[in-house]
Each structure stands twice: as C-alpha cells, then as structure tokens.
Amino acid sequence: MNLFILQAGGSSMTSLLMMGVLFVIMYFFFLRPQIKRQKEQNLFQVGLKKGDEVVTSSGIIGQITKVDENEIMLQVDPKTFLRFTKGAISKEMTDAFSKLPKTSGN
C-alpha cells in the first residue's frame, strides 16, 4: 500500500514539473516576444514627430502635421487631413513601407 502511495505522489510531482517546463517554454516563445514588440511599439509612438511619414494599422499612408498627447493629425492629400489616435500608427507597417522603393505617384 505504501509503495502505491509513493508512486502516485511521484506521478503528480512529475506532472507538476512538466507543467512548469511547459509554462517556461510558452513564456519564452510566446509571451516574451509579444512584450518586446509592445515595448518597441510604445517607443515608436512616443518618438513620432511632425513631418514623419507613417502608415496606420488600416493601411492609410500620410505625413504627420500635428502631434498631441494621444492624437496625431495626418495629411494624406494636399487638402485632406485625418485625425488618428497614436495607437493607430503601426511601427511594423511603417518600417515595411519605408523600405519600399519610392515611385512617382500620379
């Protein structure tokens, strides 16, 4: 009877250890990269300034004309201005857009 109790106790300890290892793996492969991307996005949003060309998360391309605490005014055409929250500006899409070769639009 005692041997059965010891085996059952070891089994639950192994299960607990495996769950801990699984949590550590999930942290390093899923949570940590997401936290890093979020920090980069926050730094990007804090560094936005007038004259920067950016892309919103919905794909609108424009030049920043005004920066407030939580909002940004984008000029998307000579007479068209749009107001966005800073969170709508995508670092990843802006970086990808800035790497594209510039073409003369018509």
Look at the chain and count its residues. Answer: 106
Does the pTM exceed 0.85? no
**Residue ranges per domain, the chain?**
1-46, 49-99
Mean pLDDT per segment of 10 residues, for the chain of length 106 residues?
Answer: 52 86 90 92 90 92 93 95 93 84 66
The per-residue pLDDT for 85 is 94
Residues 94, 55 contacting (CB under 8 angstroms): yes
The per-residue pLDDT for 4 is 52
Multiple choice CATH, 49-99, 3.40.228.10, 2.30.30.100, 3.30.70.660, 2.40.50.140? 2.30.30.100
Token output for 65: 């004309």
The per-residue pLDDT for 95 is 86
- N- to C-terminal Cα separation, the chain: 85
Residues 64, 84 contacting (CB under 8 angstroms): no
The per-residue pLDDT for 62 is 93
